[in-house]
Amino acid sequence: MNNSSSYPQILAPAGNKASFLAALAAGADAIYCGLKQLSARMEAKNFTLEELVGLTDLAHSKGSMVYVTLNTLIKPDELDPAGKLMDDLNRYVRPDALIIQDLALIELARQAGFSGKIHLSTLANVSFGKALSLIRHIPGVNRVVLPRELSVDEIKQIAGICPENIGLEIFIHGALCYGVSGRCYWSSFFGGKSGLRGRCVQPCRRLYTQERTQNRFFSCQDLSLDVLVKVLRPVPAIRAWKIEGRKKSPHYVYYTVRAYQLLRDHVQDSHLRKEALSLLSRALGRTGTHYGFLSQRPLNPIQIERQTGSGLCLGHVSEESGRPSVALKQGLFPGDVLRVGYEDEPWHVSLKISHPVSEGTRFDLTSGSKVAPRNGSPVFLTDRREPELINKMSELEAQLPQVKVDLPLSRFQTILPRNRLSKTKAVDQSVYRIARKMGTASEEVGIWLSQETFEAVSVTPGICQKIWWWLTPALWPVDEADFKSLIDQLLQKGSRQFVLNAPWQIAFFQNPGKHSLWAGPFCNLSNPLSINEIKSYGFSGVIVSPEMGQADYLSLPGQSPLPLGIVISGNWPLSISRILSDRMKPDIPFQSPKGEMAWASLSDSNYWIYPNWMLNLKGYRKELEQAGFQRFVHLTEPVPPSIRMKDRPGNWNWRISLS
């Protein structure tokens, strides 16, 4: 384990007990894991509270820390169960820290008297340096997990102004999402399975068609900084190197932890560097990429010529022997698991190995599936059962303390903010990407802030004060200074109305109380405690998360300490990303396997992916107004000439609720 406080921790993932034990066997400095509730990786097996008690005690006895992820969006009716869970965690498990995205957890931790620290998840979208000047004053928060999209220069820029009481956590290895964390609604919009709730079905990994070309246009390789991590080691603000993979196998966890320990502790030893790279090559991940880490040599992580299926590719299906088989590039152990094909192919099959198989053997693939594997399909090793690692894990499991936890139901009661809001006349706000004429007396105009819109509007005296300026949902350090300059110029011209699409953007305003600053829909606020938290930062109102269902929407205004708005119609993005495949043409339609159409457009340094149908809750406006919503937002994007918009209901999760 890391005995030097000057070195960053190696932070290992664990989605089940076996992976937790593998992380301990590798000597991880810290392990992050989720419970079966409130985790942003609900597809992982995760842990019961009882399981986590013994495992945490074992980890602490080995000198390893345990961080529990409660990084999910919380609905209004989940606050009390979340508070009880927080109370039980604090009483029985006593983890070293919580990893959160929903700001309600900050207040719940206070109310429950949580004794550990709080880390802001990458889903909280702390993507620029000025944000830390606000976060440093939030009691209990002592670490921020930075987005994977940052270059080393951007990381160093943020680290250079990082307050002493805040540490940074950097992803160094593991799966890459196409969308910016906290800014992807693809899975939710297509079927109610929200990535912000840990239920993403990974639509970005699927095959799409554009102009008769079919490819995995959005499927990324894995992040693998490997030897480049040496440039991060001397940066004091970076407290942890994080490995993604709570759905990955114990083998993956053990190999990646061991590899990055070598790269951290023996950076000058060429022999050990080679050993580390060998470990990573056998860790069962996808092909690795440095992504945008090197500013002078960024790599697009979407390489459609390469395999992006999870697991190590052992070969391809062949019928040379008259039956579907594969010539194995590696030998197999009993308990190993093979997957033939990609997860989104309906005929794909997983095979568990029952006996040792030698390298080079032509392995028969006919068992386990009613449909014969397609010739040429890749065969992946997705789980490994090496005897040496199994023995180490068994030894650790034998040391698990025999803890019998009789968990009485927590009597914790969440204290909600008092709501004394008076109803005011509802107003509509139409938001445009380009400058537009002002609306009527009963309608506001919002404009996305950019250099172009600022220049177009500022030439007309007095107009800046009438506009609601919308700030980007994903601001990067390379753009931060220019963006702040635009805001300062608007303030000098008398602008006072802004919609901020990350809570941390309020740090750009020295006197928030002098302005009308609303939290935008990309802040993903969905309950009264998270709204109360941002009220303390100086916000005047909230445009709530667009992902919720009918019951959540209608109950929230009666509990909210701030006036509420809602996106009631318009072009809502499936995802926002910093990248686009070299093979994907912007502003040209592409089609999903189920026939849904969408397109990609570049705006504010990001690619926005839009479906060819609109969000539309206009039919429920009367209910929403009666419930207490005061601002109704209509988002209007320029639709490329090649796109044909469809007339679809556009209710999103209104009827099916948010799962």
Residue 473 is assigned to a structural domain of this protein = yes
In sequence order, the 6+-apart residues with CB closer than 8 A to the CB of 7 are 233, 264, 265
Distance, CA of 609 to CA of 588 (rounded, Å):
11
Taking the CB of residue 463, how many other CB atoms lie within 10 A of it?
A: 17
Give the C-alpha separation, 220 to 205, whole Å.
8
| 264 in the same domain as 146 | yes
Give yes or no for a contact between 543 and 531, defined as CB atoms under 8 angstroms apart: no
Rounded-to-integer distance, Cα 437 and Cα 43, Å:
47
Q: Are strands 497-500 and 468-470 parallel, antiparallel or unpaired?
A: parallel
Amino acid at 27: G
Q: Give, as one character, the DSSP assignment of residue 512.
A: G
Q: How far is CA 477 from CA 450, 481, 483, 504, 630, in A?
A: 15, 8, 10, 13, 34
Q: Do 136 and 267 share a domain, yes or no?
A: yes
Spatial contact of 412 and 112, defined as CB atoms under 8 Å apart: yes
CA dihedral 69, 577, 506, 533 (to 10 degrees): -30
User: Would you place residue 403 in the very low, low, confident or very high pLDDT band (cuts 50, 70, 90)?
Assistant: confident
pLDDT in tens, 80-109: 999 999 998 999 999 999 999 999 999 999
pLDDT at 289 over 90: yes
Provide the whole-model pTM.
0.94
Contact, 659 vs 194, CB < 8 A? yes
pLDDT at residue number 374: 81
358 and 237: one domain?
no
Separation of alpha carbons 141 and 138, rounded Å? 6
In a domain, residue 165? The reply is yes
User: Would 89 be classed as within a structural domain?
Assistant: yes
Averaged pLDDT for residues 200-229: 94
pLDDT at residue number 86: 92
| Per-residue buried b or exposed e for 622-635, using 16+ beta carbons within 10 Å of the residue's own CB | eebbebbbbbbbbb
What is the residue range of 458's domain?
427-572+614-636
* Contact call for residues 380 and 280 (beta carbons, < 8 A): no
CA torsion sign for 622, 627, 630, 636 is negative
Q: State the CATH number of the domain containing residue 529.
A: 3.20.20.70
Residue 4, pLDDT score: 47
Query: Cα–Cα distance between 540 and 562 in angstroms, integer?
Result: 7
Contact 171, 223 (CB under 8 A): yes
pLDDT over threshold 90, residue 319:
no
pLDDT category at 309 given cuts 50, 70, 90 is confident
Q: Is 577 part of any domain? A: no
595 in a structural domain: no
Longest CA–CA separation in the chain, Å: 80
Between residues 417 and 462, the one the model is more confident about? 417
pLDDT in tens, 616-629: 999 999 999 999 99
In what helix (H) or strand (E) does residue 83 lie, and over which residues does it extend?
A: helix 79-88
Q: What is the CATH number of the domain that holds 365?
A: 2.40.30
Does residue 608 lie within any of the structural domains?
no
- Same domain? For 319 and 454 the reply is no
Mean pLDDT score of the chain: 92
- Out of 356, 383, 410, pick the residue that ends a domain: 383
- 248, part of any domain: yes
Residue 327 in tokens: 């010539």
Give yes or no for a contact between 396 and 601, defined as CB atoms under 8 angstroms apart. Answer: no
Q: Is residue 648 part of a domain?
A: no
Q: Decide if pLDDT at 547 tops 70.
A: yes
- Structurally, the chain folds into a number of domains equal to 3
Are 447 and 376 found together in one domain?
no
Of 430, 440, 439, 443, nearest to 470 by C-alpha is: 430
Higher confidence at residue 458 or residue 354? 354
What span, in angstroms and rounded, lies between the C-alpha atoms of 216 and 207?
Answer: 5
Between 325-329, 429-433, 574-578, 634-638, the lowest mean confidence (pLDDT) is in 325-329
Tell me, what's the pLDDT at 439?
Answer: 55
39-81 pLDDT per residue, tens:
545 455 578 888 899 999 999 999 999 999 998 999 999 999 9
Give the pLDDT score at 516. Answer: 97
Give pLDDT, residue 39. Answer: 54
Tell whether 15 and 71 lie within a shared domain. Answer: yes
- Grade residue 441 by pLDDT with cuts at 50, 70 and 90: low
17 and 151 in a common domain: yes
Q: Which of 569, 561, 565 is nearest to 624 (CA)?
A: 565
Confidence of residue 5 (pLDDT cuts 50, 70, 90): low
Rounded to the nearest 5 degrees, what angle is found at the Cα of 574, between the Cα atoms of 568 and 575?
125
Q: Are residues 495 and 371 in the same domain?
A: no
pLDDT of residue 1: 44
Return the percentage of the chain with pLDDT > 70, whole number: 95
pLDDT band at 370 (very low <50, low <70, confident <90, very high): low
- Asked if 41 and 135 sit in the same domain, the reply is yes
352 and 500 in a single domain? The answer is: no
- Region at 56 (left for phi over 0; alpha for psi -120 to 50; beta for the rest): alpha
Element (H, E) at 340: strand 337-340
Nearest to 287 by CA among 397, 428, 176, 211: 176
Among 105, 39, 102, 106, residue whose Cα is nearest residue 544: 102
Query: What value does the mean pLDDT take over residues 459-476?
Result: 91
Residue with tokens 């899975």: 187
Mean pLDDT score, 535-540:
97
* pLDDT tens profile 28-47: 999 999 887 765 454 555 78
What's the rounded mean pLDDT across residues 428-456? 85
Judge if 486 and 337 occupy the same domain: no
CATH of the domain at 22: 3.20.20.110
- Please tell me the predicted confidence (pLDDT) of residue 404: 74
CA gap 474, 524 in Å, rounded = 13
Q: 256 and 371 share a domain?
A: no
What does the pLDDT look like over 107-162, one tens digit per residue? 999 999 999 999 999 999 999 999 999 999 999 999 999 999 999 999 999 999 99
